[in-house]
Structure 1
Amino acid sequence: MLSTLPLSFVTVVETGSITRAADELNIAKSAVSQNLKRLEQQLDVKLAIRTTRHLSLTPAGERYYQRCKEILALSRQAETEMESFGAVPSGPITITAPHAFITPVIAPALALVEEKFPNLQPSVIAEDKRLNLITEGIDVAISVGQLPDSTLQARRIGSLRDILCAAPAVMENAPAFDDPIYWQWVQSLPYIAHTREPAVVRHRLPALVGAESIDVSFRSAVKANTIEAIAAFARNALGVALLPDIAIAQDLKAGTLLPLLTLVEPEPTPIYAVHSYDTLPPKSVQESIMAIQQALAKALQ
């Protein structure tokens, strides 16, 4: 909003008189007149020629009035936009998340948001790598793992754990868990790797309480570039895979995938909702993050 002096000037010009401007601004007529005098003194230029019945702008006054109108319009537009942050969410919103989150988390979350706010227009980018929110025009990014230092705002919405698993058919001839050759047998299994993993994949897995961590290595037999594809290959008994619980929660419940050993749960990997709106995100962003957090918790139940 314009400061008091320019606002008085604009109001006088648009109402046509100091009296009417004073009524609109709800201040004394003398205050309006004084504001105009102080403004001209500050600018060191004559803005208007005033008589008892008429006010006419000088060329400088006309130019100043036009500039003040532009500022006032921008100020009103900004206020309207800020009001919309607290209004009913509508319009486009772009969300990015890893492939493994789309089916169990993002889809049900957007269903909730769309039911609540039908005028919202979500767009989803399934991408495992981290994208630049600013250059890509992204409102919310779901990011897994520790975040690099940045000016972005991050809210932790949950965590996931990696589970070494395989289909029941792969486990048919497994030695007993406490058999000394068990881990030799496990490491002889074909391994389903992500394309970014090397030919020989090594993992350090937390062991049972009181025991040392277990170091295992696998030779990649099959590779895929998404967690969903790796999980699909594991379900079809192509080998063993280390998969996040969010991607295989339903498989573990149904028994279509089995954990290779009851281990102490590994350290959880944090999941963040990231945005670039400082401390005042639009309500559409707030509501979407809340829905994603709820869907994530439900998927891991």
Structure 2
Amino acid sequence: MDRIESMRTFVAVVNEGSFSKAAITLQLSPQLVSKYISKLEEQLHTRLLNRTTRKVSMTEAGSQYFIHAQQILLSIDNMEAQLGGLQQLPKGTLRISAPVSFALKHMAKLITDFQVRYPSVTVDLQLSDRKVDIVDEGFDIALRIGQLDSSSLIAKKIAPIRVILCAAPKYLKVHGTPKRLEDLESHCYLHYSYMNLETKGQIFKYIKAKQLKEGSIFHSNNGDVLVEAAIEGAGLVLQPTFIASKALNAGKLVIVLPEYESNPLGLYAVYAHRKLLPHKIRCFIDFMTDYYGSPPYWDKQVTGE
């Protein structure tokens, strides 16, 4: 029995929530759907689904298999679509949501270069640091920064994102340079409103735990404003290097406590799971991949010193 068809049947059962609905979607008989799942479990030597008279649910092994199966099937569908579309130029409107600061600094040239290569694609770029609902709001792609939660969306990593703690030399001259995490408690801190501090390294966790109650004097939902305030000597700021690199390279800011820098986050292109991905979306994702370099160009002169 074909392993790919069994895998496709399993994914359909999970997505539809029942054997009968999956059978309708796949245009197969319920008996054949059941046979595909049973054969797949036999080949894998593990149970993937719990079956009751009322519902079907995944086992722990089934949940893991489902994630990998979706990726494999998506790759197969994309490969077939690419082969079928090699002679076709993408066209139509491509709606993209992107973070404000990243888009302002690093997407104008990307979009321009993309449209030089694909002149029949109209790009509608909307800037927001809010987590948009791709499907409900009609976006083809959303660029997101962070550690993504698992979901039904597909995410392609585009570039690593370094987040560093930094301050202006003139601020450090007056207030002293922190040598330990504990030293942060006596400093002024410029707080980014959308920063999720739950799981991202010691500096993040320390700032959340201590809250820097007396020193957190400036809150904003825009990182550029906070970096500019830091340059003026307002305090310490925790921001990605794609915003702060120019000031760092000019000596207007210096990195503080580099030994506690957390692992990089990621810039991801996120899009809805689709069996046949539109050519314009696939071309943009392929174009974006490696566009910024490795490491990204904004990090090439930034050190931890």
TM norm structure 2: 0.59
Match of 1:295 in 2: 292
- 1:108 alignment partner in structure 2: 109
Secondary structure class of the residue paired with 1:118:
coil
* Aligned pairs, number: 210
Shift of 1:116: 1.6
Going from structure 1 to structure 2, the CA distance change for 1:273 and 1:279 (only over 3 Å counts) comes to: farther
Q: Distance in 2 between matches of 1:175 and 1:238?
A: 13
Give 1:14's aligned residue. Answer: none
**Shift, 1:129, TM fit:** 2.1
Match of 1:189 among 184, 187, 190: 187
1:273 partnered with 2:269: yes
The answer (yes or no) to whether the contact 1:89–1:283 under 8 Å persists in 2 is yes
Counterpart Cα distance in 1 of 2:281 and 2:106: 16
What amino acid maps onto 1:283 in structure 2?
Answer: H
Q: Structure 1 residue 107: deviation in Å?
A: 1.8
CA 1:216/1:232 → structure 2, altered by over 3 Å: closer, same or farther? same
The question of 1:171 aligning with 2:169 is answered: no
| Kept in 1: contact 2:159–2:292 (CA 8 A) | no
1:231-258 Cα offsets, whole Å, 9 max, x none, are 2222222211111122212222222221
Matches within 5 A, 1:30-69: none
- Native 8 Å contact 2:201 2:261 kept in 1: no
Give how far 1:177 is off: 6.0
Structure 1: segments with no counterpart, 5+ residues: 1-81, 207-212
- 1:224 alignment partner AA: S
SS of residue paired to 1:95: strand
Q: 2 CA distance for matches of 1:106 and 1:176?
A: 35
AA partner of residue 187 (structure 1): E
Q: Which residue in 2 is equivalent to 1:47?
A: none
Q: Which amino acid aligns with 2:137?
A: E
Q: Call closer, same or farther: CA 1:86–1:93 in 2, change over 3 Å.
A: farther
Instruction: Name the structure 2 match of 1:62.
Output: none
- Identity between Structure 1 and Structure 2 (%): 24
C-alpha spacing 1:117/1:170, structure 2 compared with 1 (3 Å):
same
The residue number in structure 2 matching 1:262 is: 258
Q: Provide the rounded CA distance (Å) in 2 between the counterparts of 1:170 and 1:186.
A: 13
Q: Larger Rg: 1 or 2?
A: 1
Distance change in 2, residues 1:91/1:101 (3 Å) = same
Residue in 1 that maps onto 2:56:
none
Bigger drift between 145-154 and 118-127 goes to: 145-154
Higher mean Cα deviation, 222-231 or 187-196? 187-196
Correspondence list, 1:1-301, <5 A? 87-173=88-174, 175=176, 186-195=184-193, 205=202, 217-219=211-213, 220-278=216-274, 280-293=276-289, 294-295=291-292, 297-301=296-300
RMSD over aligned Cα, in angstroms?
A: 3.3
Change (3 A) 1:175 1:299: closer
Structure 1 residues 154, 226: closer, same or farther in 2, change over 3 A? same
Deviation at 1:221, TM superposition (A): 0.4
* C-alpha contact 1:85 1:283 (8 A) present in aligned 2: no
2:192 corresponds to which letter in structure 1? H
TM-score by length of 1: 0.60
Report how far residue 228 of structure 1 moved.
2.1
Write out the 4+ residue segments of structure 1 that deviate beyond 4 Å after TM superposition. Answer: 82-86, 174-178, 182-185, 213-217
User: Could you tell me how far 1:273 is from its partner in structure 2?
Assistant: 0.8
Alpha-carbon offset, residue 176 of structure 1: 6.1
Cα shift at 1:204: 5.7
Does the aligned pair in 2 maintain the 1:160–1:246 contact within 8 Å? yes
Which secondary structure state, in structure 2, belongs to the residue aligned with residue 295 of structure 1?
Answer: coil
